[in-house]
Structure 1
């Protein structure tokens, strides 16, 4: 027996209940993989599209019994109330009753020591509470729950300063909570009642009932704030998605700087933007590699001679050769780029992307421009970041810490630690 094997705790049983939210899948499946590789018994309860990545991670797969819905078309909604209602109905409380029943059945059969859930898998959280099993919350981006000193999630703001900054954050935060609670709180509490649990005062309380909130990023990337005692920065999971991880890749010929373009793995109505980025690279002395992902067919993009367009390529390999990444600003792409020491040009589209963009620009590790920017504006931004070495140096400085956190043991230390010592900050 090796020293590493001797140091491992006895095998445990973990139940993961995951939502298929595009870019959140690779890091969450990566967490399951790390536990399976250490000999634990891991089962993933999720919709059918996650079966292949779960099995590839060494986990058992248990399908949900609910109807698999189409991806949430948030890109087609123009108003905050519309987005809040859509998220509540399609992603949060809409699936909760069936998810709670599926999770309760899985707990009764598998008897896990710990349930590990996606951020919006509220049905799984309710089932775990009702069965007296602790659950850990996976947050595969920056800290998204309300916290003193943290700018409101999804707005793309830098930290406020002084009394006016605190007032701004309080007002935005309260408005966001009221908006989500308007659509989500009553149906969430109905599910809690069905499982013999007391109601919660706000939707966010359900997430705050977690044994641990595992923030899958680096504290050096996020903004400082007063987080609850059960929140832990455990470092990012840098795994490539299953549909790209096993592919080979050869860099294009030439000596010009290599620019990787990596936009959303789910459709965000971004084909036109992707075309303008590709056209911009055609005006520059660079070698462009555009990965469209499963959301867009490569032949939807017209490519100039110095740009190759492919469905996928392992970003861990491409980034070893690249000088710059152009992206929509999803957390996975941003954090992997920085860990590789690469500066960024970000054209954020929605979700958490403006928040990631401001964390990059505040650290001087790239620039953010409108997703509606012209070809010429995009070309200027790419040229600026390539010419100014300060962006590369800032990205390398931040990336060194991120890479160290990704390689650290904090994630497994938390998941393999005591599962039954409830955090003192749990909110009821």
Structure 2
């Protein structure tokens, strides 16, 4: 039995794909452990995974509260973020856990692209094969800036962590950053072709889903609004969202006279007073309700993009941030959605796009060729991880 240790960081869109991958690997006979934020323990154990928390629930909320600084300008913001949250100590802790889990010849490390540097460090020190998993195309598009960031702003602290493993300083950060034995991209080929393509070393295995791990019932108020033809409004599960997103989206729904389910983990991001037939929910089982919505008005996260395509639901994106804007451009090129940058978030521009999506009689035909290929690809990802150990 192979031991697979998964390491990831971020919000639901970063963690749940790893839960899903871990579940598939466990079903294929492997022992799987997930290292990530404390609030994901229940969902990981429900999927049959072993679990080690890299923080506490309170630390995780603090982490989320500080992520908006990453939307600013300047490479030094990443160093400030790492220092503020104690992420260098967290990397060192992850390396110690990975060392403890290592069984020679029977272990694979799987880490989230860009942030799970512990998997590359520990893999190098122990001779363990490593897979780096990207959850959005922008992670490949941003590799050169990321290499520059690590080399110019973080090398001192990262090399200190390496020294605890008996490793010397990184000499060539570009080569180190691409040194994993396997590079996986968790999105469909058609989404890749709609923009800057992933590098040749990347193996695209299709869309991941982890939201089906939630078995929560659909609240009665959500059922009522869905019956009235509601749209879903969501900015994801974190705080890395422009402060104008929810006010602009709610105002547009009110102006268009459309019922809405506003899904946001943090209530304080949403306007205190909501219009009639607009209700807030901390979470909803999207795998059960997305296909019943008339449209999705969202922030542009790739998980929401692909889930909505799989559900055959029109999309309007209010995209702030490079990755979300890139997702919006890809979707628009395919004729599967529209998007607006933050400077154009006015009811005068959002409402026409929302109404056009609701009235788009040809959308079902356009989205049909993509719906099936938007289905989960985690079995292919699990197979690739297995091949890594055998190679």
For 1:252, what is the secondary structure of its paired residue?
helix
Question: Where do 5+ consecutive residues of structure 2 fail to align?
Answer: none
Q: Show the counterpart of 2:63.
A: 71
**Does residue 77 of structure 2 align to residue 83 of structure 1?**
yes
**Does residue 134 of structure 2 align to residue 139 of structure 1?**
yes
Cα 1:211/1:175, change in 2 over 3 Å? closer
- Give yes or no for contact 2:206–2:373 (8 Å, CA) kept in 1: no
Q: Show the counterpart of 2:318.
A: 347
Structure with more helix by fraction: 2
Cα 1:176/1:103, change in 2 over 3 Å? closer
CA–CA separation in structure 2 for the residues paired with 1:52 and 1:135: 26
Q: Show the counterpart of 1:166.
A: none
Query: What is the total number of aligned residue pairs between the two structures?
Result: 380
Cα 1:91/1:128, change in 2 over 3 Å? farther
Report the Cα offset of residue 202 of structure 1.
4.7
**Structure 2 residue aligned with 1:258, among 207, 230, 234?**
230
- Give yes or no for contact 2:266–2:282 (8 Å, CA) kept in 1: no
**Does residue 359 of structure 2 align to residue 387 of structure 1?**
yes
**Does residue 286 of structure 2 align to residue 315 of structure 1?**
yes
For 2:121, what is the secondary structure of its paired residue?
helix
**Structure 1 residue aligned with 2:167, among 170, 194, 197?**
197
Report the Cα offset of residue 193 of structure 1.
3.9
Report the Cα offset of residue 260 of structure 1.
1.1
More deviation, 200-209/55-64 = 200-209
Q: Show the counterpart of 2:216.
A: 246
**Does residue 186 of structure 2 align to residue 216 of structure 1?**
yes
- Give yes or no for contact 2:32–2:49 (8 Å, CA) kept in 1: yes
Q: Show the counterpart of 1:165.
A: none
- The 5 A counterparts of 1:96-175 are 96-107=91-102, 112-119=106-113, 120-142=115-137, 144-145=139-140, 152-153=141-142
Report the Cα offset of residue 329 of structure 1.
0.9
C-alpha RMSD of matched pairs (Å): 3.1
Report the Cα offset of residue 68 of structure 1.
4.2
Report the Cα offset of residue 274 of structure 1.
0.8
- Give yes or no for contact 1:93–1:123 (8 Å, CA) kept in 2: no
Tell me the TM-score normalised to structure 1 length.
0.78
For 2:319, what is the secondary structure of its paired residue?
coil
For 1:277, what is the secondary structure of its paired residue?
helix
**Structure 2 residue aligned with 1:367, among 338, 353, 372?**
338
Report the Cα offset of residue 21 of structure 1.
3.9
Cα 1:63/1:258, change in 2 over 3 Å? closer
Report the Cα offset of residue 91 of structure 1.
8.3
Give CA deviations for 1:186-233 in whole Å, capped at 9, x if unaligned. 43334334423354345453342212112111121123636243x211
- Give yes or no for contact 2:316–2:337 (8 Å, CA) kept in 1: yes
- Give yes or no for contact 1:240–1:316 (8 Å, CA) kept in 2: yes
Question: Where do 5+ consecutive residues of structure 1 fail to align?
Answer: 1-10, 146-151, 154-172, 422-428
CA–CA separation in structure 2 for the residues paired with 1:204 and 1:338: 35
More deviation, 178-187/305-314 = 178-187
- The 5 A counterparts of 1:227-306 are 227-229=199-201, 231-240=202-211, 244-249=214-219, 251-252=223-224, 257-268=229-240, 270=242, 272-292=244-264, 294-296=265-267, 300-306=271-277
**Does residue 380 of structure 2 align to residue 414 of structure 1?**
no
Q: Show the counterpart of 1:169.
A: none
Cα 1:64/1:24, change in 2 over 3 Å? closer
Q: Show the counterpart of 1:29.
A: 19
Give CA deviations for 1:359-396 in whole Å, capped at 9, x if unaligned. 11221211111335123322222112223445554444
